[in-house]
Structure 1
Amino acid sequence: MTETEPRFRSDVTVELVKHNASDRDVLWAARVSTAGEQSLDELQKDPERSKGLINYLMRDRHGSPFEHNSMTFFVSAPIFVFREFHRHRVWSYNEESGRYRQLEPVFYVPGTDRNLVQEGRPGQYNFLPGTPEQHKLVTESMEQSYRQSYASYLEMLEAGVAREVARAVLPVGLFSSMYATCNSRALMHFLSLRTKNEDAAVPSFPQREIEMVAEKLEAAWAELMPLTHAAFVANGRVSP
């Protein structure tokens, strides 16, 4: 049964659904240029023996060997996160549809650890924690707005209005879900833009909510391809 009472979340969900990704994939793809069919021998070797090659490819930005792998993630996050996510066009996406199903009343409300106050100019923003009064205002205002918009949505559905029309009243703080598939090169490009890290050669200033997704993506990838991830970090978190 579809829920009707709004629920509020301050977290995101990222799950690795399936994958065909390992450091070996980088090695055989790189070595085909000099070894031809013998490059498949890399599938039987310990990739630790060739971590210098992975680092070389990363350092000198020979990117194509990092494309011969695949990872599919299930992501549940606010719609405004997906609107930024979908700018990464070399990923493949399938998102739930408000045209074909009644959308669940799950909405994003920032946790108390989410900085609220923005200072500075574009590209050099600083974010400050905010006062208890500001956090209270954000929480109460969002929850009130969410309840009202979802009540209007249900009222239209009950009156026979099409789902694709009624959904227009729902805010971007509504949670959606999707499957997102990428290779490691595309993921590294995503991480270079959607995480803020002191080790990064090029500074980035992502919105915190998409960074929350990025951190979970990176943790899953680091387990699958530890040598590639280490080379990415060692070379300034720049996608090759």
Structure 2
Amino acid sequence: MDDSQPHFLNDVTVELVKHSASDTDVLWAARVSTAGEQSLDEIGKDPERSRGLINYLMRDRHGSPFEHNSMTFLVSAPIFVFREFHRHRVGWCLAGDSEITLVSEKGHVRRRTIAELYRLWHHGVEDTLPRIRGGVSWRAKAGKWNAQVRLAGELHYLGLHDTKESAESAVAAFRAANPSKRLRKLDSVHRNHARCYDETTLLASRAKILDVMESGVKRLIRLTTVGGKSVRCSIDHAMLTPDGWRKAGELKVGDDLMVAGTAPRPSEGLVPPSLRRGIGVWTSMQRLRLIKEADTCYVCSGVFPREDLTLDHVVPVAADLLKALDERNLAPACRPCHRKKTDSEQALAKRGGKISIAKPDPIASIEEDGEEMTYDLAVEGPWHNFLANGVVVHNSYNEESGRYRELQPRFYVPGAERKLVQEGRPGKYVFVEGTAEQHKVVTEAMESAYRQSYAAYQEMLEAGVAREVARAVLPVGLFSSMYATCNARSLMHFLSLRTKSEQARVPSFPQREIEMVAEKMEAAWAELMPLTHAAFVANGRVAP
């Protein structure tokens, strides 16, 4: 098969790559409230009783016992499927009052709660330019308070009043009837960048926010550190620790979380000139051995011949002298990226002062903290983390990036069984079979467009255009891959909306392509948790 030529596929793939999920997870979680630590001894003693308990929990909407499990799927599907799929990213969720640290291009920092970000992202932002001017003033000659306002260039007199309170009430009533702020659909919040951290150097950076999601009502825990940082999240939310990413529910008091901190800026004065020259000579000697004839710049991901690459210290020498002679800290960098990185490091060294880094902070307490609506962010790579209440957390959606790898020519074309014709009005329509001629038109049109767009993509790459620019010509029918992690409760929410079933208490009308993904995920889940799946179906396919 020629990997440079477009391939046309009419099915999706879903692979369960890892899991810790079984019906017993539900049973012990439910029985711990009455049996305590002896709940594990009850598992498996009475299968019929276990079936009845799971059915009771499902029927009466006791949701939290269904959250003590985890499944990770590798999904390969057209990009347009993921534009719907990511709305169901569940499990890794934050409370609405979590403050997200935003950073401007000039380095200015501000904070918004994630619930506020969600509202502004999806419903617009307030225009704070006043449309009403004026107010209350004292008229000495009349011995009264005058109330007047100007609206859209026209002056409105609201009369003279004996008391200031009366005049202010008149103005307030006019303002209430003529609000001074308008709600506009502005895209300014869509350009926000969140504080993130390089997981190799732990230095602060910024990442573009790609989406803000409402993730449903979840059970929360509160993690509080010795340094006073506190974050409320679901038990599956990923937290950065010195040992890598761990789920919040797996942590215990005394474990370290990585939180926002500062450190002295690196200074060239800390490294004697003779030692710096020696490090430079040693680094040059490793060049032929560590850089391939054609290799990838670790900064921009571009591919260059060896003569256009140099070895760079990922963690700067001045920042950590112990890594100066560590081969694992060396990576190929193209000359422009190396020059830019070196200049920025030298500028930091000359200014002195502090730099923002992530540093460990032990957990002082872990508490249950109720249930409420939760939210999540999607941020641009390569690190996919952001700062919430000063704690470094991870987003829950990882799709392959067209910025960092060349996208492969795999495109979606509907199969012969795909219904093509929509009949009825929005909200009340059905899809019916297409004719052979319609299928032919769809197939030929899509394949032609795919070939043309991928040829344009390849042409730009060969001309040296960055991948993140060249990918703009590729259509949403391109296949992509994604890791999606969920628990049984969140998966049931997804299935209730993204599958069509006669057994569903609430009808759903999903797009067929995302339903194909949902069907494969449901089949894998049904094998892992047959009692839970049966209760879900028996109770109208409604998530607890």
TM-score tier, shorter chain, comes to over 0.9
Task: Give the 5 Å matches for 1:6-17.
Answer: 6-17=6-17
| Whole-Å separation in 1 of the counterparts to 2:34 and 2:54 | 15
Per-residue deviation at 1:206? 0.1
- What secondary structure is seen at the aligned counterpart in 2 of 1:86? helix
* Alignment equivalent of 1:215, drawn from 504, 510, 519: 519
Partner SS state of residue 523, structure 2: helix
Answer yes or no: is 1:164 the counterpart of 2:439: no
1:45 & 1:145 partners in 2: Cα distance? Answer: 60
Which residue of structure 2 aligns with residue 90 of structure 1?
90
Kindly tell me: are residues 2 and 133 of structure 1, through their superposed partners in 2, closer, same or farther at Cα, counting changes over 3 Å? closer
Taking only aligned residues, the RMSD between alpha carbons, in angstroms, comes to: 1.4
Report the structure number with the largest CA radius of gyration: 2
What amino acid maps onto 2:15 in structure 1?
A: E
Q: Separation in 1 of the partners of 2:508 and 2:6? A: 34
Match of 2:410 in 1: 106
Task: Give, in whole Å, the separation in 2 of the partners of 1:100 and 1:47.
Answer: 50
Distance 1:124 1:68 in 2: 38
Question: Counterparts of 2:521 and 2:496 in 1: how far apart (Å)?
Answer: 12
CA gap 1:42/1:70 in 2 versus in 1, 3 angstroms: farther
- Asked if 1 retains the 8 angstrom alpha-carbon contact of 2:89 and 2:486, the reply is no
Higher normalized strand content (fraction of residues): 2
Asked if 1:151 is matched to 2:468, the reply is: no
Partner residue in 2 for 1:57: 57
Following the alignment from structure 1 to structure 2, what is the Cα–Cα distance between the partners of residues 47 and 63? Answer: 21
CA contact (8 A) 1:6 1:146 kept: yes
Alignment size in residue pairs: 240
1: distance between equivalents of 2:73 and 2:537?
Answer: 22
What is the 5 A alignment of 1:1-240?
3-43=3-43, 45=45, 47-91=47-91, 92-240=396-544
The Cα of 1:107 is off from its aligned counterpart by 0.1
1:57-102: CA deviation from partner (whole Å, max 9, x where unpaired): 0000000000000011111000000110000131532111100000
Task: Tell me by how many angstroms 1:124 deviates.
Answer: 2.1
Contact 1:2 1:102 in 2 (8 A): no
Q: Is the 8 A contact 1:120 1:126 kept in 2?
A: yes
The 1:225–1:120 alpha-carbon spacing in structure 2 relative to 1, beyond 3 Å, is same
Retained in 2: the 8 A contact 1:48–1:227?
Answer: no
- Larger relative contact order (Cα-Cα within 8 Å, sequence gap ≥ 6): 1
**Distance between the aligned counterparts of 2:13 and 2:32, measured in 1?**
38
> Which consecutive residues of structure 1, in runs of 5 or more, have no partner in the other structure?
none
Compute the displacement of 1:6 (Å): 0.2
* Letter paired with 2:439: H
Q: Deviations over 1:124-165 (max 9, x none)?
A: 220011111110000000000000000000000000000000
- The amino acid that maps onto 2:398 is N
AA at the equivalent of 2:447:
E
What secondary structure sits across from 1:125 in the alignment? strand
TM-score, normalised with respect to structure 2: 0.43
Determine the C-alpha separation between the residues in 2 that align with 1:51 and 1:133. Answer: 51
Q: Give the TM-score, by structure 1 length.
A: 0.97
In structure 2, C-alpha distance between the alignment counterparts of 1:123 and 1:177, rounded to whole Å: 31
Q: Secondary structure at the match of 2:482?
A: strand
